[in-house]
Chain A
């Protein structure tokens, strides 16, 4: 008797588990509108605009070219909605979307420049609170978020362009991935300010949204027309949708309104205060240990017109706050290792003096770049994105308690000294280049 009761009870539990759990939450994948990225802008009246990049899996499965031949080349739609809150905006979007908006595949949030300048604080709670969005999504600032999300390049899906750029930042070290988690952490902690990825290379536009009927274009569909009031700019239309194939067939040269360069955004609190781009961003990354691979050029030891290109292998930077009778100051000590990548004139790497010269020149380049960025961040942006305050907090907690409230004013005046040490480890397969005949 007992032996029959246990399997029966187990069977009952299995039946209950199968029939009850998930019934209320089951959703067929064909019912979902998968959102790949979110963009936030503000219009001329200061109204926040939510842009949702909704993917078309059917077109993606076929590939853009094949889908285009079949007349189904729209790989994503931009749904735009004036936004009082995310939830209300999605409700409104769902009124004209025959599927359920699904945020589980959002891989980035892009703030338009004006929205970021106004402050991103009100728009972070939902991202942190909702379970469906991961904290590992990328945070970025762009001149116009919805503009970026209509510009596919190489990748079929526009947001994948930025995703790819983010993933390959390690090959140039002029930007780096910033996740929502890192942004929130920097925002919450005293003594360190947030950063985000930043896309540059396009003009800043204000976005004016007026839904004047549905319009679809070949590559990217959008349900609302994005316009800029006429008279302010000779271009009547802002951020026109672009056919990805157009880019592929192009020259490959940077195009002002299409090519995306990636750098870093600087925030003070929840407000965007500026961007650091190219070598400036690299100057920041030298100081924060964020360099993976990057190439620097130094003058050839034997000729002023020659260049030696060295590639970094690794780098590390330590902060050492000092507190004495002269006051508080910060010391940065960076160590970097390089390999000689190329040279425009013959170079003898067996000569110890040459190696020493290259190391000193590389160290000087690093310090110059770091100083340039530090000057901009300290004096112009006045934002402690380095986390000097947090480091002072760790080393001198008592002193930090005295200055924490005034740190925003003290940071620009903080004396910072730098010391760089570069090491040349290898020089490729050529030991001693012979001069040309």
Chain B
């Protein structure tokens, strides 16, 4: 099926990994530390490390798979492999995961804003306001997303890598991360799926973005870089959070990073740093939501006669309606993420591996080489 697209729908491989990394950093710094420290406690940093390792392994798998897509997205490819109905069902499943991710991301941030800054503002107002800008950015196309990522990742890096360890977390005690693995591997392993599902969700965007990426032969380092950068931030944040609050207290917090930010001060003079950090955080979260929305729309456009922009509007409308509902709230979202993480990971792996296997069975001769993948030009 030929996808009708607007112009300038291409980004470089570097922009793609920046986009993936920025989106992940926004998500993981919002709620992930509490999900990891909740179970792994002082070993949250090990869980983060293993999570990153698992995400890198998945990246290798995904990169090998997307090379088979050629100039198609997963949507067109699955139609070829599975046929019209099953292919559409597979793609719609991925669309659902991406849209749910966009919704969870935006709802998390609107609830955080409600809790931390605007307690009297109705939820629906904040939700709509939070969804509209990402929808607009996604509607403008992948090109804008890629350029935004270059700015956002710089600000995020400045915030989480420079400010945290260097400027000052006043009561940071590294020794709180000891003893290591006191309760064995079990709590660590059980905390991995929650974070990993977010890593995978953003990697899945490659299934939509792949035909729009220049230098497609660099898709493997692109995906690995996106995972490693975000993973490094998560490891750092996990250590700092546990070092600042202690493992028991950190596990209680809704958003340890926000609580951490509220403690920041520079030289005992500059306080209220949370204003600055939130000002960076919110656009990053919006970018992550927009990226997921665009990817879902791109896949949706691949299996329907919709233009990508129209699919973005449709996806945005779905997210707006979902976001305007009072449930799930942030606490329910945390519970859902914990319960659904492993099934979602298995579902994602099942879709990719089965599609790949089916393609090998039905079309054993088809192979997309690095050279042919890299030779693609910008699509109009």
Contacts and interface: CB of A to CB of B under 8 A. Distances in A.
Interface of A: 6, 9-10, 13, 16-17, 20-25, 128, 131, 134-136, 167, 179, 181-182, 184-185, 188-189, 393-395, 397
A335 B53 CA distance: 42
A361 B170 CA distance: 34
A379 B9 CA distance: 74
Given A135-B259, A188-B246, A397 B122 contact: no
B179 interface: yes
B265 interface: yes
Nearest to A27: B120
Contact of A394 (B119, B133, B178, B262): B178
Contacts of B245: 181, 184-185
A355 B252 CA distance: 52
Nearest to B268: A167
B367 interface: no
Given A20-B121, A25-B119, 16 more contacts: A10-B136, A13-B133, A16-B129, A17-B129, A20-B129, A21-B125, A131-B116, A179-B170, A179-B263, A181-B245, A182-B171, A188-B246, A188-B248, A189-B176, A189-B247, A189-B248
A48 to B, nearest CB: 24
A107 to B, nearest CB: 10
A13 B262 contact: no
B121 A25 contact: yes
Contacts of A25: 117-121
B140 interface: yes
A393 B244 contact: no
B136 A13 contact: yes
Contacts of A134: 262-263
Nearest to A178: B171
B182 A179 contact: no
Nearest to B249: A188
Nearest to A186: B246
A404 to B, nearest CB: 11
Contacts of A128: 252
Contacts of A24: 118, 120-122, 125
A135 B253 CA distance: 12
A21 B175 contact: no
B126 interface: yes
B306 interface: no
Given A13-B133, A20-B125, A189 B115 contact: no
B112 to A, nearest CB: 10
B92 interface: no
Which of B132, B249, B268 has the largest number of chain A CB atoms within 10 A? B249
Given A9-B136, A17-B129, A21-B126, A189 B120 contact: no
Nearest to B264: A136
A53 B121 CA distance: 29
Which of A22, A25, A136, A181 has the largest number of chain B CB atoms within 10 A? A181
Contacts of B248: 185, 188-189
A16 B132 contact: yes
Contact of B121 (A21, A131, A182, A395): A21
Interface in B85-121: 115-121
B265 A136 contact: yes
B175 A394 contact: yes
The 4 A-B residue pairs whose C-beta atoms are closest, nearest first, are A188-B248, A185-B246, A24-B120, A394-B178
Nearest to B177: A394
A21 B118 contact: yes
Interface in B311-337: none
Given A13-B132, A21-B126, A136-B170, A393 B179 contact: yes
B29 to A, nearest CB: 17
Contacts of A393: 179
Interface in B104-156: 115-122, 125-126, 128-129, 132-133, 136, 140
Contacts of B118: 21-22, 24-25
Contacts of A23: 121
A135 B179 contact: no
A260 to B, nearest CB: 21
Nearest to A394: B178
Contacts of A188: 246, 248-249, 252
A375 B116 CA distance: 45
Interface string B178-193: 1100100000000000
B249 A184 contact: yes
A293 B249 CA distance: 31
A189 B140 contact: no
Contacts of B136: 9-10, 13
A20 B116 CA distance: 17
A55 B120 CA distance: 25
A23 B126 CA distance: 11
23 contacts: A10-B136, A16-B128, A16-B129, A16-B132, A21-B129, A24-B118, A128-B252, A134-B263, A136-B265, A136-B271, A179-B263, A181-B245, A182-B171, A185-B171, A185-B246, A185-B248, A188-B246, A188-B248, A189-B176, A189-B246, A189-B248, A189-B249, A393-B179
Which of B132, B136, B246, B263 has the largest number of chain A CB atoms within 10 A? B246
Contacts of B246: 185, 188-189
B258 to A, nearest CB: 8
A9 B268 CA distance: 43
Contacts of B178: 394
B179 A397 contact: yes
Contacts of A182: 171
A17 to B, nearest CB: 6
Contact of A397 (B182, B247, B262, B265): B182
B125 A135 contact: no
B140 to A, nearest CB: 7
Nearest to A2: B6
Given A17-B129, A21-B129, A394-B175, A185 B263 contact: no
A179 B129 CA distance: 37
B198 to A, nearest CB: 24
Which of A22, A135, A179 has the largest number of chain B CB atoms within 10 A? A135
B171 A179 contact: yes
A181 B121 contact: no
Contacts of B140: 6
A136 B249 CA distance: 15
B138 to A, nearest CB: 12
A181 to B, nearest CB: 6
Interface string B251-291: 01000000100110100100100000000000000000000
Which of A13, A131, A179 has the largest number of chain B CB atoms within 10 A? A131
A9 B144 CA distance: 15
Contacts of B182: 397
Contacts of B133: 13
Interface in B197-252: 244-249, 252
A184 B259 CA distance: 13
Nearest to B112: A131
A9 B118 CA distance: 25
Nearest to B251: A188
Nearest to A22: B118
Contacts of B247: 189
Nearest to B247: A189
A229 B175 CA distance: 50
A135 B121 contact: no
